[in-house]
């Protein structure tokens, strides 16, 4: 029988003070802290410390698709073949943590990984989340047996996570999704046009995943094509990362849209917020979005643009993406909505 161990990481800022934790149901638990780190590094560290501390057949349960997919989709095989380079021939991010974890898992041969939805009601996932958050906030770890007393609320530190515009490269093979807003995609609710765009995005992402095992979808989660990109990534089993222009862009949205936004945010492997202050006007918000688009164009390996080839603002974005990415910009034309009777 396997020992089941749950892991989690938390970080206040990106980078910033962070914490990691692992726990075995009705068994031991441990947590630790780092003064300056990232959420991704804490997720990897939690898995590494869990594998180091628990001998015998082991099942690691994590809400990080970044960690789970590395082994489920065998990203590490491509990294080793390319000498610890990703599909873009750039150094693999966080190699100093990935390398010992991959070596240990390969050497043992008895470690498997399973994904669990974060904040989905799993009591052990909530436990390690609280332990990691506590370690990040208090900058100290602890260990023991069973459920530790006096834990704070299950609330991830650093969501969203501020980051400098010149942040480190995005993980894996990053593919960013841009495109139309809801009025051009059939409306704000679910509808045939949006459903068809989502279906085509799932097909594209599955095909890309066959070519790039370390594919990561990058989305800003704006209403419309960007949110459809996250939904398609989740359906295709591809990890996705969220890049926000500023904190809480969803505050002005309808309640149902805010709910969808937060649900998708919880499943992201990481959240990067490029600017710390919320805009005070529509003009400031528009300028922040333009800076975010430019940042994404610089950091992506490929892009999918949901575009009817008529919208002028998306035409300008297409030219900018082409300047940065060359031929690696793919246009998905949405179907025309059915004419009103």
Quote the CA–CA distance of 243 and 257 in Å, as a whole number. Answer: 18
Q: Which one from 63, 184, 250, 275 is the annotated catalytic residue?
A: 63
Q: Containing H/E element for 216?
A: strand 215-219
Catalytic residue flag (residue 73): no
Quote the CA–CA distance of 327 and 125 in Å, as a whole number. Answer: 42
Catalytic residue flag (residue 34): no
- CA angle 245/250/256 to nearest 5° reads 150
Q: 143 with 135: CB under 8 angstroms?
A: no
Q: Which one from 9, 141, 186, 220 is the annotated catalytic residue?
A: 9
Catalytic residue flag (residue 255): no
Quote the CA–CA distance of 301 and 208 in Å, as a whole number. Answer: 12
Catalytic residue flag (residue 129): yes
Strand, helix or coil for residue 85? strand
Catalytic residue flag (residue 43): yes
Quote the CA–CA distance of 79 and 92 in Å, as a whole number. Answer: 7
Quote the CA–CA distance of 219 and 225 in Å, as a whole number. Answer: 9
Q: 290 with 164: CB under 8 angstroms?
A: no
Catalytic residue flag (residue 63): yes
Query: Structure tokens of 6?
Result: 């749950």
DSSP type of residue 223: T
Q: 225 with 306: CB under 8 angstroms?
A: yes
Q: Which one from 34, 49, 73, 129 is the annotated catalytic residue?
A: 129
Quote the CA–CA distance of 4 and 24 in Å, as a whole number. Answer: 6
Quote the CA–CA distance of 209 and 13 in Å, as a whole number. Answer: 30
Q: Which one from 8, 134, 214, 270 is the annotated catalytic residue?
A: 8
Q: Which one from 99, 119, 122, 278 is the annotated catalytic residue?
A: 119
Q: Which one from 34, 43, 134, 267 is the annotated catalytic residue?
A: 43
Helices (H) and strands (E) in the chain, counts: 10, 13
Query: Structure tokens of 26?
Result: 């009705």
Q: 49 with 30: CB under 8 angstroms?
A: yes
What are the residue numbers of the active site? 8-9, 43, 63, 119, 129
């Amino acid at each position: 029988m396997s020992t089941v161990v749950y892991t989690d990481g938390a970080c206040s800022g990106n980078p910033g003070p962070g914490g990691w934790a692992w726990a075995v149901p009705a068994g031991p638990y441990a947590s630790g802290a780092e003064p300056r780190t990232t959420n991704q590094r804490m997720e990897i560290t939690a898995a590494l410390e869990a594998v180091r501390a628990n001998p015998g057949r082991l099942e690691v349960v994590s809400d990080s698709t970044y960690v789970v997919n590395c082994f489920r989709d065998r990203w590490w095989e491509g990294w080793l073949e390319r000498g610890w380079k990703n599909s873009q021939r750039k150094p693999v991010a966080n190699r100093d943590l990935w390398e010992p974890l991959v070596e240990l898992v390969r050497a043992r041969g008895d470690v498997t990984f399973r994904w669990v939805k974060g904040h989905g009601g799993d009591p052990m996932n909530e436990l390690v989340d609280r332990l990691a958050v506590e370690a990040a906030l208090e900058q100290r770890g602890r260990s023991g047996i069973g459920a530790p007393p006096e834990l704070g609320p299950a609330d991830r530190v650093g969501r969203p996570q501020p980051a400098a515009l010149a942040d480190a490269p995005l993980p894996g093979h990053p593919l960013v999704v841009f495109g139309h807003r809801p009025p051009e995609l059939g409306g704000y609710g679910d509808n045939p046009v949006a459903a068809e765009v989502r279906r085509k995005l799932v097909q594209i992402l599955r095909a890309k995943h066959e070519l790039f095992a370390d594919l990561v979808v990058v989305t800003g989660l704006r209403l419309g094509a960007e949110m459809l990109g996250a939904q398609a990534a989740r359906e295709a089993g591809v990890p996705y990362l969220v890049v926000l222009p500023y904190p809480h862009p969803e505050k002005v949205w309808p309640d149902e849209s805010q709910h969808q936004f937060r649900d998708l945010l919880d499943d992201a492997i990481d959240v990067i917020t490029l600017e710390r202050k919320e805009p005070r006007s529509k003009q400031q918000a528009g300028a922040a979005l333009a800076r975010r688009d430019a940042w994404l164009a610089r950091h992506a390996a490929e892009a999918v643009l949901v575009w009817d080839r008529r919208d002028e603002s998306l035409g300008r974005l297409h030219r900018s993406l082409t300047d940065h990415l060359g031929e690696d910009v793919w246009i998905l034309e949405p179907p025309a909505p059915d004419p009103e009777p």
